[in-house]
Amino acid sequence: MNKLIFFLFFVIICHIIFYQPKNETYSDVVISRVDKIVDYNYDVKKLNKQDISFLDKYLSYINCDYLINQNLDKEDSVIKIIQKCLHNKYQDSYYDTLAAEIKNIFHNNDQIKEDFQLAFKNYNNLLQDSINPQIIFFNGFFNYYSPFFSTGFILPEDNSYIGIALEMFLGRNHEFYKVSWLPQYLRDEFQKEYLVSRSMKCFLINQYGQELLMGERLIDEMLYWGKVHFVLNKILNNYHDTLAFGFTKKELDWCYKNEKRIWRFFIEEEESGNSILFSSGTEYFYKYINPAGHSKGMPSDSPGMIGRWLGYRIFSSYIKNKKFKIDEKYTSDLILNSKTYKPQ
């Protein structure tokens, strides 16, 4: 009996000493407010390596052509030029009001920080990683000609930070969005509650875009987005699916209610005698993958981007009883041939 007790005691001690819980510790998510750098009294010592790297890109995005040709050899010169540019912009009452609105809406970001913290904890657990990019808030001034305007984000190749244009999250019916060319289906995601889900989606695409894409057909694109949304669903497990897909609850309910009908549409809709699922025609990407008011050929109740949602349903059915690996070659043919997808 004494030997047994000693053995159990020895096992417990070894477990305590050598057991290392996986991904139990995480660094706090750091949120930098680069939008506040306009203040000439701003303490530039607060800026870290990621901030400086971001500012180099930011300068070329905020439409300050008359200043870009100046000497940018030193980090301080970049900061001063950006400060001068921002001060010039804020002489315009439009931009001054925009800055005030951003300050008012984003004065407290505790919930955003908490949501990012949980998202990256789940991300690292799912993908066996230890990444923790810095979050950088900035004012992009609705620069329609910059590469990031359509998404509201700036991300470097190494994913060391996520730059987020706060003017893209003021609220769907905000006065700044009431311009004739901006459709409501785009404005619907210009809300603060979408900030984390859209950020994580862009981060995933920037990190794993090429690895997840396995072809050029419509079904390949659908399943690419299916994989993206599968990962999003896992890392944003405290979020409703509406925020991940950009659908209203009514639109998402319509999708689930009409799932068989949606699948039948893609099977029966043909191009040159074959289902459009296997077409490489870009017009189908515009109709069923890209943002739109609704999906062409379907009832007006259908949301746009319905191909992404269906891709998620197909991939989720395939991976249900398997261990997901980000570097696994989940080809469309492999997934379809498994016949695991049974529309409800």
Concatenating the DSSP letter of every residue in 127-169 gives: HT----PEEEEE--TT-TTSTTTTTTEE--TT--EEEEEGGG-
| Amino acid 24: pLDDT | 45
Single pTM value for the model: 0.83
Could you tell me if 59 and 84 are in contact, meaning their C-beta atoms sit under 8 angstroms apart? no
Q: What is the pLDDT of residues 169-225, one digit of tens each?
A: 999 889 888 875 778 888 889 999 999 999 999 998 888 876 667 678 999 999 999
> Residue 20: pLDDT above 50?
no
| Amino acid 79: pLDDT | 75
The alpha carbons of the chain give a radius of gyration, in whole angstroms, of 24
Summary mean pLDDT of the chain: 82
Which phi and psi (to 5°) does residue 125 adopt?
Answer: -65, -45
At residue 19 the predicted structure's pLDDT band, cuts being 50, 70 and 90, is very low
How is residue 85 written in tokens?
Answer: 């540019």
Name the residue type at position 80: K
For the CA atoms of 215, 217, 221, 226, what is the dihedral angle to 10 degrees? -90
* Residue with more model confidence, 60 or 88: 88
The count of other CB atoms within 10 Å of the CB of residue 64 is 18
Most confident of 64-68, 90-94, 146-150, 305-309: 305-309
Q: Mean per-residue pLDDT for 141-169?
A: 80
| Beta strand 134-138 pairing with 31-33 | parallel
Q: What is the pLDDT of residues 254-300, one digit of tens each?
A: 999 999 999 999 999 887 778 899 998 888 888 999 988 999 999 99
